[in-house]
Amino acid sequence: MYNYINNYKGRTDLVDLYGNNALLLYALQLRYDIEDIIAVASEALTDGSDDKKCDLIYIDRDAGFAVIAQSYMKQNPEESDLAKVNKASDLNVAASWIFTRNIEDIPERIKDSVSELQDAIKEGDINTIYFWYVHNMNEKNNPEVQDELNTVQIAAQQLVNNVAGDNSVKIVALEVGNNTIERWYNSSNKRIAVEDVIEVKGTGKAFEIKGNKWKACVTAVKGSWIRYLYLTYKDDLFSGNPRNYLGAGKRKNKINLGIMETVEKQPDNFWAYNNGLTALVNGYDIDGDVLNRVHGITIINGAQSTGAIGAVENFREDFLIPIRFIVCSDPKIIEEIINNNNKQNEILPSDLRSNDKQQVRLRREFKKYPQLYYSGGRRDSTSVRNKEVFDPYLVAQTLVAFHGDCVTAYNSKKAIWDEDKEYTNVFSDQLTVEHIIFVYSLGRAIDEYKLNLKGKKEQRTEVEEEELSFLSKRGSKMLLVQAVSSCMESLLGKKILDSWRLIYKDNQDFEKLVKRWHVIIDILIPFHDILDSALQGGLKNRDTVRNVIKQLRAVVASLSKVYVSQLKEYAVAIKTDM
């Protein structure tokens, strides 16, 4: 019995809503520590009658990767069951549609996702594309699956090279069955996923420093040893790191290209050029001043150096790299070690804002609602899957969209946290937890509305097909959030002096708050044709957005008397001033 299975079965938020795609979403959340998987599912799931063998296309420009997935769930699988090989080979079809077909020939269901992925590749924002075959059987039972995935990887690599114009984008085809999901589940609950006892190859000389709750061994190891660790353990080596190896792209991560070039051309200078690595270990063995072995390891600083060393194909001459191995059993100290060791790197901006006074305040105030969880950018190993998790990036995005800038909200989620002006405009003293709940519940309601339309399948009316087509376009969610905000006065039939003060009077039942928004969406979604032009070519043109929002507001205003009567119950639930 795998440990993850009971945890997965308890995820009713996924199992009840997404059927055969639930395990795929569960695996994606485990692998990339996604806080609001429901919001991701709304945009990334493509599963349907004309999905061209793509159940999911997940794109993360900031992290530089994408996941294209095909999923298969067997009911009541036996230990000896074999995963279907044809599901793995289906990924060849997916690769062909994504990388070779003219965008105008792509089915509507996946057109926006494919277009964004192609653009991201051409603009140098994607370094790695993963092709996943996700299933709930034992991976070792059917070696033919991996053989087929190897074929997918080779074929897709040739296709993506044509799109990128070079070989800067790496293709990885991966079988994600019980064994892999179990490993991801276990590593999500502990910082050190690699627990082997490993012989250390280096200078042999080391010195030890001890603190109150930690000790450390400082030494130098061979580049070939670091390369061995990366090739052996892959991303498990970075289980305690805020990020994995991000690859070496033509626009992003040029530093990694420089590291690889040093390894290939100037290995004797590597020590002088590189800051070195920091690793957490469960223990180490020192004999005198000689370090012999480490017990378990995760590299918490230096993932890019490690991955770059491992990625070098022409590894000819060995070299030394400085490293320190830290042993610590105090979870709070471990978190601080990780955070402080990564402050000099370009990690997620939210990591470095997590101790900002506004984030500290919001985390504290969210405790009034024990069923809700907001991390405020702080990475927390505590399981919060039994709560409604508010993703801090999505919180910022929906707030920015609600307050009049869906273009920034959709295209610049990292910049909102990174740039002081953008950040302080959102996370100010006037921002309350209740207003976050108000706006975030609107975003979730849009996700649910789209999910309900998808669930109707062949029972959808022609009008509903058009609505689903609109909601399937990337950027539509943030555009609709802004549209709702712009029409609030007409919908409520009264002046709103400060939209930052809009809240629900009772915030105890989040699901109920989400459902309250459905009546608003029911009113506005039929006017999607007015908004649609703002999504052509991507949600990028602020002038177009202003024009379509103005048109929509005029239409809603002309019908305001009808809506005010229709929304009496909704209006009573809202507090517009404080």
Average pLDDT over residues 127-136: 94
The C-alpha atoms of residue 109 and residue 324 are separated, in whole angstroms, by 50
The full length of the chain comes to 578
Q: Which runs of E-coded beta strand occur in 417-529?
A: 503-504
- The 8-class DSSP code of residue 45 comes to B
Average model confidence (pLDDT) across the chain: 88
CB neighbour class for 572 (10 Å; exposed up to 12, middle 13-18, buried from 19): exposed
pLDDT of 391-425, one tens digit each? 999 999 999 999 999 999 999 888 898 888 999 99
Spacing of C-alpha 259 from chain mean position: 26
**Are 417 and 12 spatial neighbours (Cβ–Cβ below 8 Å)?**
no
Q: Work out the angle between the directed axes of helices 542-558 and 476-486 (0-180°, nearest 10).
A: 50
pLDDT at 344 over 60: no
The C-alpha atoms of residue 295 and residue 89 are separated, in whole angstroms, by 39
Q: Band the pLDDT of 538: cuts 50, 70, 90.
A: confident
Backbone angles phi, psi at 56, to 5 degrees: -155, 140
H helix or E strand, kind and range, residue 24: helix 22-32
Say which residue, 331 or 61, is predicted with more confidence: 61
How high is the pLDDT of residue 578?
A: 54
pLDDT of 434-489, one tens digit each? 999 999 999 999 999 999 998 888 899 999 999 999 998 889 999 999 999 999 99
pLDDT of 483-512, one tens digit each? 999 999 999 988 999 999 999 999 999 999
Q: Find, among 415, 189, 368, 221, the residue nearest to 302 by Cα.
A: 221
Euclidean distance between the first and final Cα of the chain, in Å? 53
**Are 356 and 375 spatial neighbours (Cβ–Cβ below 8 Å)?**
no
Say which residue, 337 or 244, is predicted with more confidence: 337
Q: Work out the angle between the directed axes of helices 433-456 and 476-486 (0-180°, nearest 10).
A: 120
**Are 137 and 178 spatial neighbours (Cβ–Cβ below 8 Å)?**
yes
Q: Band the pLDDT of 348: cuts 50, 70, 90.
A: low
pLDDT at 354 over 90: no
Range in 121-135, 249-263, 493-507 the model is least confident about = 249-263
How high is the pLDDT of residue 345?
A: 45
75: tokens are 């009911």
- The 8-class DSSP code of residue 281 comes to -
**Are 83 and 135 spatial neighbours (Cβ–Cβ below 8 Å)?**
yes
Q: Find, among 490, 488, 485, 481, the residue nearest to 534 by Cα.
A: 481
pLDDT at 382 over 50: no
Domain boundaries defined on the chain: 3-187, 192-337, 350-575
- Answering whether pTM is above 0.95, one says no
CB neighbour class for 505 (10 Å; exposed up to 12, middle 13-18, buried from 19): exposed
pLDDT at 351 over 70: no
The CA angle 277-246-266, to the nearest 5 degrees, is 55
SS3 238: helix
Q: Work out the angle between the directed axes of helices 462-471 and 433-456 (0-180°, nearest 10).
A: 130
The C-alpha atoms of residue 120 and residue 163 are separated, in whole angstroms, by 10
Spacing of C-alpha 127 from chain mean position: 15
H helix or E strand, kind and range, residue 184: helix 178-188
